[in-house]
Structure 1
Amino acid sequence: MKFSIDEFRRWSHKKVTLIGMSGVGKTHLASMLRQHDWFHYAGDYRIGTRYLDEPILDMIKTQAMQVPFLRNLLRNDWIYIRNNIKINDPGPVLSFVGKLGNPDLGGVELSDFHRRQAAYREGEIKAMYDVPSFIEKARKIYGYQHFVNDVGGSLCELLDEPEVIDLLDKHTLMLYIRVTDQDEEDALIRRAQEAPKPLYYRREFLETQLNEYLSINDLEYAAQIDPDDFTRWIFPRLFQSRIPRYDILARRGYIVTSKEVAAVRDEKDFLALLETAIARN
């Protein structure tokens, strides 16, 4: 969606999709807006609670069944296991995606890793297709005036699913939070390397980087990889590969910087920042 400033001010039910790298402040911003009559739709929360709920539980139960005490309890239906995914902490989703590498070090074997990555991608696509219905639910059922779509850092990997991007563009104002300062970019990468998190990779990108990592480290196959070391090594490359993809997405909407977002304290600041972005465009 594109607006003039006057059109934006007259837009009574504002709907915004926040896009950008993980760690730029999307969830922080969306959580703040929730306190100001905005419905917070979190992509990873929807993926985990709707589209990956059963696969996540199956993964947990598989591990639990290896413990004789828990195996007996589960087989007799004396206990049950459920996910506890939170909007600001989609931990079970991250655990499901996992890290590629040696299973003895907490890694995931390559073929299973590809399967999990594909399942996450399919869940993300479906979660984005759910956005229009949740826009309607947010207003008609829950009585929220506005809607903010807090998507994962991997949305830019869906450029080859143009229908998804078209749908978000049709129903929401797309706001790209860009990291423009080198020090801030370095800090974001450093944080990701200090506490490596599971990541989504395009298949062709992963295969290229994996082959290079194996060659550099004189390894024969993925199961020999230290999962945390590989995740730390690949993240800066993933970060750089996503910048041009986000730039393509940004053409559909507006751009603000992560520093500008960091200065937002309330809804008034956020709306003023959106008007600044519209004026710049």
Structure 2
Amino acid sequence: YRIGTRYLDEPILDNVKREAMQMPFLAELLRSDSIYLCHNITIHNLKPIASFLGMIGNPELGGLSVEEFKRRQGLHREAEVKAMLDVRDFIAKAHDTYGYPHFINDAGGSLCELDEPGVIEQLAEDTLILYLKPSDAMLNQTIERSLLEPKPMYYQNQFLDQVLPQYLAEQGLSTPEEIVPDDYFRWMFPRLVEHRLPRYQEIADRYGVVLDAERIDDIHGETEFLELICDALG
């Protein structure tokens, strides 16, 4: 939410305006300032961010070129780094303004991809990093949900440069412009999850603790949650 509303707000709206300007009726109204466009990003609706980030593939099917996709991924990375560094200020605001004694930073899965010096270290100073480690069954459920409703995500160029040629070869395609975007995402995402698992574990081993994600379903209040964390801390 913070990434989209604070740091990707302008790029998202610029992209929407470019699309709208291709329609003469809307273009005339925009040029005369008769209408304005805005997104409706909420905590439960991140589709404007996912739509902006897009996916590589056939432009006639809404796909992006590799270069444009990487550019937008770069913007997402910069935004996520800034959002994670904002956590320290938000902890202070939560306490000083609202009187909240505790603060939860629900970081995205792409946190492990940032590799930005100081980000994980600052989060570890200000928060206890919890890795909710999924079982195989839960992992499969997560993948299935993400395939049905993709969420915004960042992943490194190195990963893309590794899997994209593999996909083209397996599908017998000559160029990325031949890719059906949704088909590529369904093929790529499980591989991305597998790529990330050791990264999550490394962060938890160095800076945090590991919790069995399935145990979260048995929690019915703050006390039980804190007891679970205490057990993990030993």
| Length-normalised TM-score, structure 1 | 0.79
Deviations 1:115-138 (Å, cap 9, x if unpaired)? 000000010001111111111111
Structure 1 residue 262: deviation in Å? 2.1
**Secondary structure of the structure 2 residue equivalent to 1:148:** coil
Deviations 1:36-68 (Å, cap 9, x if unpaired)? xxxxxxxxx111111100000000000111111
For residues 188 and 75 of structure 1, the distance between their equivalents in structure 2, rounded to whole angstroms, comes to 43
CA separation of 1:229 and 1:177: change in aligned 2, threshold 3 A: same
2:50/2:150 contact within 8 Å kept: no
Taking the TM superposition and a 5 Å limit, the aligned residue runs for 1:116-265 are 116-158=72-114, 160-179=115-134, 181-197=135-151, 199-251=153-205, 252-265=207-220
* Structure 2 counterpart of 1:80, from 19, 33, 36: 36
For residues 178 and 156 of structure 1, the distance between their equivalents in structure 2, rounded to whole angstroms, comes to 14
Aligned residue identity for 2:39: N
Structure 1 gaps, min length 5? 1-44
Between 1:260-269 and 1:206-215, the stretch displaced more is: 260-269
Q: What RMSD in Å do the two structures reach over aligned CA positions?
A: 1.4
Instruction: Pick the structure with more strand per residue.
Output: 1
Between 1:78-87 and 1:240-249, the stretch displaced more is: 78-87
For these two proteins, the number of residue pairs brought into alignment is: 233
Structure 1 residue 217: deviation in Å? 1.0
Aligned residue identity for 1:256: L
Deviations 1:178-224 (Å, cap 9, x if unpaired)? 11x22222222233334445542210110110000011111111111
Structure 2 gaps, min length 5? none
For residues 176 and 248 of structure 1, the distance between their equivalents in structure 2, rounded to whole angstroms, comes to 10
Structure 1 residue 95: deviation in Å? 1.1
1:174/1:253 contact within 8 Å kept: yes
Instruction: Pick the structure with more helix per residue.
Output: 2
**Secondary structure of the structure 1 residue equivalent to 2:129:** strand
**Secondary structure of the structure 1 residue equivalent to 2:105:** strand
For residues 194 and 127 of structure 1, the distance between their equivalents in structure 2, rounded to whole angstroms, comes to 26
Overall identity of the aligned pairs, in %: 49
For residues 56 and 200 of structure 2, the distance between their equivalents in structure 1, rounded to whole angstroms, comes to 25
For residues 229 and 125 of structure 2, the distance between their equivalents in structure 1, rounded to whole angstroms, comes to 18
For residues 197 and 223 of structure 1, the distance between their equivalents in structure 2, rounded to whole angstroms, comes to 23
* Structure 1 counterpart of 2:223, from 238, 244, 268: 268
1:107/1:226 contact within 8 Å kept: yes
Which fold has the larger relative contact order, with Cα–Cα distance below 8 Å and residues 6 or more apart in sequence?
Answer: 1
**Secondary structure of the structure 2 residue equivalent to 1:61:** helix
Aligned residue identity for 1:226: V
1:198/1:231 contact within 8 Å kept: no
For residues 173 and 85 of structure 1, the distance between their equivalents in structure 2, rounded to whole angstroms, comes to 28
1:99/1:198 contact within 8 Å kept: no
| Length-normalised TM-score, structure 2 | 0.95
